[in-house]
Amino acid sequence: MRGMTPIVKTITALLIGFIMLFGFYVILTGHLSPGGGFAGGVICAAGLLLVVLAFGADTVKERMGHNMAVLWEGLGAIGFLAVALLGFITGTFFAHFVPHNLGVRLFTGGSMPYLNLAIGLKVGAGLFGAFLMLAAFREAERGGRDKGEGDRS
SS3 percent helix, strand, coil of the chain, rounded to 5, is 70, 0, 30
| Residues β-bridged to residue 109 | 100
Residue from 70, 75, 86, 97 in contact with another protein (CB under 8 A): 70
> With contacts defined by CB under 8 A, how many residues of the chain interact with another protein?
53
Q: Does 9 bind another protein (CB under 8 A)?
A: no
Q: Say if CB 99 and CB 108 are below 8 A apart.
A: yes
Q: Please state the three-class secondary structure of 11-69 as a single string.
A: HHHHHHHHHHHHHHHHHHCCCCCCCCHHHHHHHHHHHHHHHHHHHCHHHHHHHCCHHHH
Q: Does residue number 67 form part of the binding site for another protein (CB under 8 A)?
A: no
- Can you tell me which of 2, 6, 14, 34 binds another protein, judged by CB under 8 A? 34
Rule CB under 8 A: say whether 65 interacts with another protein. no
Of the pair 13, 140, the CB lying nearest another protein is at 140
Q: Which residues bind another protein (CB under 8 A)?
A: 26, 30-39, 41-43, 45-46, 49, 53, 70, 73, 77, 80-81, 84, 94, 96, 100-104, 108-110, 112, 115-116, 119, 122-123, 126-127, 129-131, 133-135, 137-138, 140-141, 144
